[in-house]
Amino acid sequence: GMGALMGSKNLKAIAASGKQRIPIADHDAYAKLRSRINRELRSDLMSQGLRDFGTGSGSDVFDYFGVMPKRYFRAGTLAGVETISGPTMAETILAGVSACHGCVIACGRKVKLEDGEERKGPEYESIVGFGPNLGITDLAAITRLAELCDRYGMDTISVSNTLGLAMALVEDGVLDGDDWRALDLHWGDAQAVEKLIHSLAHGQGLGAWLEHGARALAEKAGAPETAVEVKGLELAYHDPRGSAGMALVYATSPRGACHNQGPYYLVELGQTREEVGVGLSDRRGGPEIAANVARQQDWVSLLNNLVMCIFANVPAEDIQKLVNSATGFDYTLEALIEVGERSWHLKRLINGKLGAVPGEDSYPAPLTRPLEDGGAAGFVPPFEEMLEAYYHVRGWEARSGMPTGDTLRRLGLQSEGRNP
């Protein structure tokens, strides 16, 4: 994509500086509403947890319910996992907090390690990716590994997932060449992981095995069914065996296994949106949760379009008022949600025109095996039945996985559905 093109030209960024102000339709109403929302966010329990403990604030809960993966999704428990939690970070290495521009929550972390240098602290995905996923429970080591990826400009989820697969394949004896044996890669070995990150960034040595991600590594190793990915994108660290709705989220996300397209694990743990039709559902649910998953995806799609953070626990009615006072439009809440739904379908249509096929809405083969212990023990989501129900709820054709003509007409996308 554009990132690869820019990289090939050694272009780091494109900056544009404008002089005009962004017009607000009803500035007074918008300013008063924004001030009230910020006051309420400061006292909101979810916001307080994020401010005090960062995005790692929920790690203990995710561990208890089996949502947090260990040893590349192979283990349900891991000794010492409590040492990587948000509260542990706050008690040990936390040096301060950081926030996105204008945010009152400030869930970002600043930490100090043994060298005394203040640095960015890791988020939940990086903590788990370089922590329990690799069998590592040293928070300082996890911080250094995540920082190393940031310095190289590499995604911490994709890198740690791919490294987890490498560890699993070494454990299984699939990767057993001289170079792999010399590295002696094993669970919990942060030093070996650091060496692999350097090799991966430069595409040298064993890094040449890893540089194209988990799917490519599995195929190169002759074990294509071992990678935990969807559509080529490595899974984030919310195991569908502990959060059934995530099976549908990962499978149907426009860009692969992305948790930000619909963080349904939050719904199953109590963060519902009753006012927009997103209710509480069983984390070991089946086809009956398909409509709830779709509704939450539409809501999150709207938030993404509005560039609003999913951690900002703002009532839907207030979001509606913000949009209307800023734009001068008169959106109803349902009309706003339809914006998210239309966006979701538009991305589906674009992917279809680019050659996507229904079989790519998949569930990773390694996750069809139930875990033996932990909060997700014994459960595997009935994925095929769930996907069939999801297609029906969405108004998508069962065979092609594309929106039906009636669905496109309802959303005003009939012209976009035509083949070029």
Domains of the chain, earliest start first? 41-234 (1.10.569.10), 245-410 (1.10.599.10)
Angle of helix 290-305 relative to helix 245-252, nearest 10 degrees, comes to: 50
Residue 245: pLDDT above 90? yes
What confidence tens digit (pLDDT) does each residue in 91-127 have?
999 999 999 999 999 999 999 999 999 999 999 999 9
Please give the C-alpha separations between residue 48 and each of 56, 143, 326, 355, 362, in angstroms, as whole numbers.
13, 23, 27, 44, 37
Residue 4: pLDDT above 90? no
What confidence tens digit (pLDDT) does each residue in 169-181 have?
999 999 999 999 9
Please state, rounded to an integer, the average pLDDT across all residues of the chain.
Answer: 95
What confidence tens digit (pLDDT) does each residue in 280-310 have?
999 999 999 999 999 999 999 999 999 999 9
How big is the chain by its Cα radius of gyration, in Å?
22
pLDDT in the model for residue 418: 63
**b/e string for 99-137 if b means 16 or more Cβ within 10 A?**
eeeebebbbbbebbbeeeeebebbbbbbbbbbbbbbbbb
Instruction: Count Cα neighbours of 71 within 13 Å in the Cβ-side half-sphere.
Output: 18
Instruction: Please state the rounded mean pLDDT for residues 261-266.
Output: 94
pLDDT in the model for residue 419: 56
Could you tell me the pTM of the whole model? 0.94
Residue 314: pLDDT above 60? yes
Q: Which amino acid is at 286?
A: G
Cα–Cα distance measured from residue 159 to residue 170, given in angstroms and rounded to the nearest whole number? 17
Q: Residue 2: pLDDT band by 50, 70, 90 thresholds?
A: confident
Phi/psi of residue 112, each to 5°? Answer: -125, 130
Phi/psi of residue 167, each to 5°? Answer: -60, -45
Alpha-helical segments (H) within 256-404: 264-268, 290-305, 316-327, 333-353, 383-394
Cβ proximity of 48 and 90 under 8 Å? no
Beta bridge partners of 229: 234
pLDDT in the model for residue 420: 47
Three-state secondary structure of 75-104:
ECCCCCHHHHCHHHHHHHCEEEEECCCCCC
Instruction: Count Cα neighbours of 146 within 13 Å in the Cβ-side half-sphere.
Output: 24
Residue 388: pLDDT above 90? yes
- Cβ atoms < 10 Å from Cβ of 30: 18
Q: What tokens appear for 378 in the block?
A: 């014994």
Cα–Cα distance measured from residue 54 to residue 311, given in angstroms and rounded to the nearest whole number? 11
In terms of DSSP bridges, do strands 108-112 and 118-120 run parallel, antiparallel, or are they unpaired?
Answer: antiparallel
Helix (H) / strand (E) element for 108: namely strand 108-112
Cα–Cα distance measured from residue 101 to residue 119, given in angstroms and rounded to the nearest whole number? 18
Please give the C-alpha separations between residue 373 and each of 65, 370, 386, in angstroms, as whole numbers.
11, 9, 24
**b/e string for 142-176 if b means 16 or more Cβ within 10 A?**
bbbbbbbbeeeebbbbbbbbbbbbbbbbbeeebbe
Please give the C-alpha separations between residue 382 and each of 23, 245, 277, in angstroms, as whole numbers.
49, 11, 23
> Residue 397: helix, strand or coil by DSSP?
coil
Output the CA torsion sign for 203, 260, 167, 370. Answer: negative
